[in-house]
Amino acid sequence: MSIKEKLKKGQKISGVMIRIVRNPALAYLANNGGLDFVMYDCEHSDYNMESLHDLFLMGNALGLEGW
């Protein structure tokens, strides 16, 4: 179920904001921890496009929503 669907039904969602970790394995940790989304802080960190691409690919493969 997507975040939007959960919110429409009044369910709680949970996630994490990341600004340092660049390892795509973070998506596995978030998914196994029961989180609904991962948000990458690109304003206060120095993520490059290659790192974000790898993080997004892993998150999408696991069904996490990234903002």
Residue 67 has pLDDT above 80, yes or no: no
Number of domains in the chain: 1
Question: What percentage of the chain exceeds 70 in pLDDT?
Answer: 97
pLDDT at 9: 97
Helices 25-32/49-62 angle, 10° precision: 40
Averaged pLDDT of the chain: 87
Q: Which of 67, 18, 62, 65 is nearest to 44 (CA)?
A: 18
| E strand residue ranges, the chain | 15-18, 37-40, 65-66
- Domain containing 11: what range? 3-66
Q: What band does 10 get if pLDDT is binned at 50, 70 and 90?
A: very high
pTM recorded for the entire structure: 0.75
